[in-house]
Amino acid sequence: MSRFDEPDYYKKEELVQIQPKPPRTPWMETPVDFRPGTYIYPGKAKNLKVLDLPNPRDWAVTDVDWQLPEGWQKTILEGMADRLKRFRSFKLFMDICVRCGACADKCHFFIGSGDPKNMPVLRAELLRSVYRKDFTALGKVFGKLAGGRELTVDVLKEWFYYFYQCTECRRCSVFCPYGIDTAEITMMGRELLGLLGLYVNWVIEPVANCFRTGNHLGITPHGLADTLEFMTEDIEEATGIKIDVPINKKGAEILFFTPSGDYVAAPGIYTCMSYMLLFNELGVDYTWSTYASDGGNFGLFTSHEAMKRLNAKVYAEAKRLGVKWIMGGECGHMWRVVNQYMDTMNGPADFLEVPKSPVTGTVFENARSTKAVHIMEFMSDVIRHGKLKLDPSRNDHIRVTFHDSCNPARAMGILEEPRYVIRHACNHFYEMPENTIREQTFCCGGGAGLGTDENMEMRLRGGMPRGNAVRYVQEKYGVNQLAAMCAIDRATLPTVCDYWAPGVQVTGISELVANATVFKGEKRRTHNLRLEPIPGMATEDEESEADLVGAGAPGEGQGGMGHE
Amino acid sequence: MNVLISLLVVACLLIVGMFGATIAPQWIFAVALPYVAVAVFAIGLAVRVMKWAGVPVPFRIPTTCGQQRSLPWIRQQKLENPSNKLQVLGRMALEVLFFRSLARNTKTELRKERGLVYGTDLFLWIGALAMHWALAVVLIRHLRLFTDPVPAFVTFTEKADGFLEIGLPPVNVTTVVLLCALLYLLYRRLANARVRYISLPEDYFALFLLLGIAGSGAWMRHISHTDVAGVKELALSLVHFSPMVPTGISPLFFGHLFLVCVLLMYFPLGKLVHGPGVFLSPTRNMANNNRAVRHVNPWDYPVKVHTYEEYEDEFREKMIAAGLPVDKE
């Protein structure tokens, strides 16, 4: 018997029975239902203490009494007043919504659950109703008639449930005629909840870890050195190339940072191995850092302050190591932070130089101030200049589609660079339907700190639109791999794909590139970086041997689909 | 319930306007109220906008809807992902004049055999665009009442608007469009279960108010004519601050005027401020050039961080054992 935190527990036929009609009771009178599988466990006291956050205590979401601090209503209302004075986005988005409903069926959680409070407009109304009651003239005079409502414990519980059922993916803000961005609303909602010590552990533990050890997983410096060292052994086995891993190296030209998810779990580790292989091949003088060992920043999912506290390490480490500029790996929300917050929060980075590719001499003008370049900007430039010898036929057994990750798409607009790289690394690239890619891309359902197993039902529901689009290209073109440049995607999309489009594996883009690269001094390449035999490259003996070994779950996809 | 309350309120307002003017001294409804309404509108709106403008924009958070500016050989989508002020201006113009974002609207359906399917859904975009543009033209036409001589562009607009030459006075296309668009928006709000669920009384109120104004206006023009010359005399006298109320203006006109006054006074208070608000929306009016040009947060404050020294102090021995370089031996 499977449990509510396992995908098998949910029958597909039941999950797609989505009630298209809203309930009979008005939304203000429909209380929240904490059903296992749809909410996330609260933040543990020890993690709050590491970060000096208020009201640390151990509690359960299903408790009637959430042990709120004395005078909590006042704390929230003052917190709102304070943020209304500091963020124009918040003030404006509280005021200008006309409830046209254009955002409603743009949210993956609404599409997958049918719960009206997952319509972005209602998610915002949860806050707006309190705002109207206490901060607007009409609300003060007309109260409920003007859409205002009292701040009660039930309202607070509703906030907790629904602000942790939003992945801050910003898809709704693409469609909103006023650009109202639910990510801003959710961020404010979470900040306000945080004032009372209401966090989810899946977010706040990584933040506490990252604060102390430099990465969300709490990997110690020597642990990270071991991990990377271990990867070089697999690299050598696959390619015959022995590489050095520069760590905390002073005077290196480039500080490289990437999400820590890629240090430990497949398929992210293959992406991480690929970075090292490709930098080695291109002769890039770079260094890893153990202190700034995470590009990801769960502070973004906590509060602006937490984001700044974690992000501060990047520039501090760049300064300490004396690098010239910074390069960031394949990650989603990390690039939201780097592209839209880092320079403002912790800059100016006037001690660094304007990034210039040591391989091609290209100056990255668009990163002139932040001094941080995306690996896909770097790689597409390298490939454009013909500095990598690529043999895409080594990826001929792969039929790949590309999942635009929310933040790189909607908080940056890095759309063509990854596609250019994929097209040069693979011969078989197929796009998903246009309403599901680029700026209209769908979230994996597990971003913004929701990718934990106890939230499995919502992850599967939220992942349905993406899974459905993957399924479409799987059936139409035989797609068997989905490339994504985001570590959360690489952690959560395997579950989504296994469920909605079984047989499709998840990969990073750099992994595709490394597998297609003809390295100087490589041995005969019979196995890819996953140490799976490459069809057409391995001898029959090697292939059948590997089939026996690899008869488990990941191998099924390869066997089932897309062989030519 | 929300619908009925709103309808009732607007109906009552119309009646108050129509008969108030006959019972109470005329100067209250014809002179004092319009002045008050315009003042509330202007001051209220200015206050509202200044309040927004007074709140800082700490971070540069545009929603990017196209390819960024990066390498020279990759084509940037300048209007969907602007990287300088001029491009932002272009993006804003598309947004304000043509409701660019609404034109992206899709509808999503879950089908048994095919799973999720997406289709273009332009009805809301057409309805909204028609309503706003028609309203703009109607307002321009009304300038005829406030000016003497009437500027050429007003006469031209009016001529163009009545090009069908049906009836006398000719039916203006925008009158029909405005009424139809408002009725469609009302229909959509009622017929679409989702939109009905999220609607507040205010949402219906705004629609009924506009319908009341447009309906009473059209009625006066085509069905029970009012004394247009008298109305113009009143309007001009108000503009010249020498108010004078001519006799013989029909009660319906005062109802119309009263609703307009209510609209003006309600405008800065409620959701209709989305008009000026969209200009200030940080996800639309900012360039996505944060990596090239530093954005400064005016209220930035220092935060508690975990320094490298603290970090090394905790792990120094293990780092040395693992062969990692350290700052302090």
A195 and A210 in a single domain? The answer is no
Give the whole-angstrom CA distance, residue A405 versus residue A503.
21
Instruction: Give the pLDDT score at B26.
Output: 82
Complete edge-to-edge strand list for the sheet that includes strand A372-374: A286-287, A254-257, A325-328, A372-374
A153 and A29 in a single domain? The answer is yes
Q: Are A107 and A162 in contact (CB under 8 A)?
A: no
What average pLDDT does this structure show over A186-205?
Answer: 98
Whether the CB of A448 is below 8 Å from some CB of chain B: the reply is no
Give the residue on A whose Cα is nearest the Cα of B300. A345
Cα separations in angstroms, A548 against A395, A552, A554, B134: 22, 9, 13, 71
Number of domains, chain A: 3
A417 and A298 in a single domain? The answer is no
A540 and A468 in a single domain? The answer is yes
Instruction: Find where tokens 């203000």 sit.
Output: A28
A194 and A213 in a single domain? The answer is no
Instruction: Find where tokens 């944060």 sit.
Output: B290
B110/A137 touch (CB, cutoff 8 Å), yes or no: no
Q: Are A103 and A182 in contact (CB under 8 A)?
A: yes
**Confidence bin at B329 (pLDDT 50/70/90):** confident
What average pLDDT does this structure show over A462-467?
Answer: 97
Give the residue on B whose Cα is nearest the Cα of A410. B64
ipTM of the complex: 0.95
Task: Classify residue A8: in a domain, yes or no.
Answer: no
Q: Is the peptide bond before B169 cis (omega within 30 degrees of 0)?
A: yes
Can you read off the two tokens belonging to residue A231? 């990867």
Asked if residue A556 has pLDDT above 60, the reply is no
A59 and A74 in a single domain? The answer is yes
pLDDT tens for B75-89 read 999 999 999 999 999
A189 and A249 in a single domain? The answer is no
Asked if residue A548 has pLDDT above 70, the reply is no
User: What are the helix (H) ranges across A64-181?
Assistant: 72-86, 88-95, 108-113, 120-135, 137-142, 153-163, 171-175
Window 250-289 of A, Cβ < 8 Å to B: 250
Task: Classify residue A531: in a domain, yes or no.
Answer: yes
CATH superfamily of B2-303: Transmembrane di-heme cytochromes, Chain C (1.20.950.20)
Residue A483 has a CB neighbour count (10 Å cut-off) of 28
pLDDT tens for A24-83 read 899 999 999 999 999 999 999 999 999 999 999 999 999 999 999 999 999 999 999 999
Can you read off the two tokens belonging to residue B291? 């990596």
Which of B83, B278, B292 lies closest to A367 in CB terms? B292
Q: Please, which residues have CB within 8 angstroms of residue B255's CB and are 6 or more apart in sequence?
A: B14, B15, B17, B18, B216
- The partner residues of B286 in beta bridges, in order of sequence, read none
Q: Are A360 and A488 in contact (CB under 8 A)?
A: no
pLDDT tens for B23-39 read 888 889 999 999 999 99
Instruction: Give the pLDDT score at A56.
Output: 97
Q: Looking at residue A339, what DSSP letter applies?
A: I
Give the residue on B whose Cα is nearest the Cα of A420. B74
A96 and A156 in a single domain? The answer is yes
Task: Classify residue A77: in a domain, yes or no.
Answer: yes
Task: Classify residue A536: in a domain, yes or no.
Answer: yes
**Confidence bin at A562 (pLDDT 50/70/90):** very low
Count CA within 13 A, CB hemisphere, residue A302.
Answer: 30
Give the whole-angstrom CA distance, residue A177 versus residue A148.
24
pLDDT tens for A80-94 read 999 999 999 999 999
A92 and A195 in a single domain? The answer is yes
CA angle A24, A26, A29 (to 5 degrees): 110
**Confidence bin at A544 (pLDDT 50/70/90):** low
Q: Are B318 and A241 in contact (CB under 8 A)?
A: no
Q: Looking at residue A21, what DSSP letter applies?
A: S
| Residue A251 identity (one-letter amino acid) | G
pLDDT tens for A361-409 read 999 999 999 999 999 999 999 999 999 999 999 999 999 999 999 999 9
Task: Classify residue A10: in a domain, yes or no.
Answer: no
pLDDT tens for B126-184 read 999 999 999 999 999 999 999 989 999 999 999 999 888 888 888 999 999 999 999 99
Q: Is A196 helix (H, G, I), strand (E, B) or coil?
A: coil
Give the residue on A whose Cα is nearest the Cα of B283. A179
Instruction: Give the pLDDT score at A550.
Output: 41
Give the whole-angstrom CA distance, residue A273 versus residue A528.
11
Q: What is the mean pLDDT of chain A?
A: 94
Q: Do you know the residue count of chain A?
A: 564
Which residue, of A140, A167, A199, is where some domain finishes? Answer: A199
Asked if residue A218 has pLDDT above 50, the reply is yes
Give the whole-angstrom CA distance, residue A543 versus residue B196.
60
- The partner residues of A403 in beta bridges, in order of sequence, read A484
**Structural domain for A85, as ranges:** 20-199
Q: Is B117 helix (H, G, I), strand (E, B) or coil?
A: strand
Ordered by start, the domain boundaries in chain B are 2-303
A377 and A396 in a single domain? The answer is no
Which residue, of A316, A350, A384, is where some domain finishes? Answer: A384
Q: Number of A to B CB contacts under 8 A, please give it.
A: 308
pLDDT tens for B108-125 read 988 877 789 999 999 999
What average pLDDT does this structure show over B185-205?
Answer: 96
pLDDT tens for A341-371 read 999 999 999 999 999 999 999 999 999 999 9
Which residue, of A199, A224, A253, is where some domain finishes? Answer: A199
Mutate to test the interface with A, among B43, B57, B60, B64 (most CBs of A within 10 A): B64
What average pLDDT does this structure show over A174-190?
Answer: 97
Task: Classify residue A4: in a domain, yes or no.
Answer: no
A321 and A405 in a single domain? The answer is no
Complete edge-to-edge strand list for the sheet that includes strand A505-507: A400-403, A481-484, A505-507
Give the whole-angstrom CA distance, residue B178 versus residue A400.
49
| Residue A135 identity (one-letter amino acid) | F
Spell out where chain B has E strands.
106-111, 115-120
Sign of the CA dihedral running B294, B298, B302, B303: negative
Residue B236 has a CB neighbour count (10 Å cut-off) of 15
Asked if residue B98 has pLDDT above 90, the reply is yes
A88/B74 touch (CB, cutoff 8 Å), yes or no: no
Task: Output b/e per residue, A333-355; b: 16+ Cβ within 10 A.
Answer: bbbbbbbbbbbbbbbebeebeeb
Of residues A207 and B225, more confidence is placed in A207
A344/B59 touch (CB, cutoff 8 Å), yes or no: yes
B59/A341 touch (CB, cutoff 8 Å), yes or no: yes
What average pLDDT does this structure show over A309-322?
Answer: 98
A384/B73 touch (CB, cutoff 8 Å), yes or no: yes
Q: What is the mean pLDDT of chain B?
A: 94
Chain A residues close to B295, C-beta within 8 Å: 343-344
A380 and A401 in a single domain? The answer is no
Asked if residue B255 has pLDDT above 50, the reply is yes
